[in-house]
Structure 1
Amino acid sequence: MRLPVRRAVEVCPVEVAVSVLGGTWKLTLVKHLLTGTRRFNELGRLLPLANTKTLTRQLRELEEDGIVHRTVHPEVPPRVEYSLTGLGRSLEPIVRIMDEWGARFTGTDPA
């Protein structure tokens, strides 16, 4: 368990969730991975404002926290794919609700 998560455990479960998911682009990465496995460059295209260094760091943290699974295929050049673990998939209702709330808040909700 990463140190920030261990510290959050001492506070409350909400802080644990924020520690695991509160990084830049993390929830958006989870949202895009809910539709299936994605390659790194594909995720980069889906998040054009995110730089490569930040995406790499956030994906590594999500992997370390058991949210994302990283598969490296032994090819030349190497093919790396990201998918959600069962724990990551369990975030689907939360991510959907946050997505809907954000759309309503910004007035982009079609409903």
Structure 2
Amino acid sequence: MVYKNHEGYLDPTSGQALQNTHWEELQQLREKEHGLKRGQKIVLTEMYREEHKPARKIQRTYIVLELYKYCVLLKDDKGYRTAPSYIQLQMMMKGVV
């Protein structure tokens, strides 16, 4: 979508600022809805499988980067990123998965 000012001229700077403001509002709404905050550290329990060995549960610490409509973007201390759905995230936080 191209933003135009009141005189009808293209104004990409204002358009980008409005888009960023809208994105920030969406992030704040999703933070309230799901009880998460960007920058928050969470500990998740995951199943770890090695070849020819039984599976075991391990705990990893992730930082919440962004909240999207259907998933949340997480990053661990090594830079690995993952995006589980909110339902998967709740199960991982409880240690069910």
Higher radius of gyration, 1 or 2: 2
The alignment's TM-score, normalised by the length of structure 2, stands at: 0.26
Choose between structure 1 and 2: higher helix proportion: 1
The alignment's TM-score, normalised by the length of structure 1, stands at: 0.24
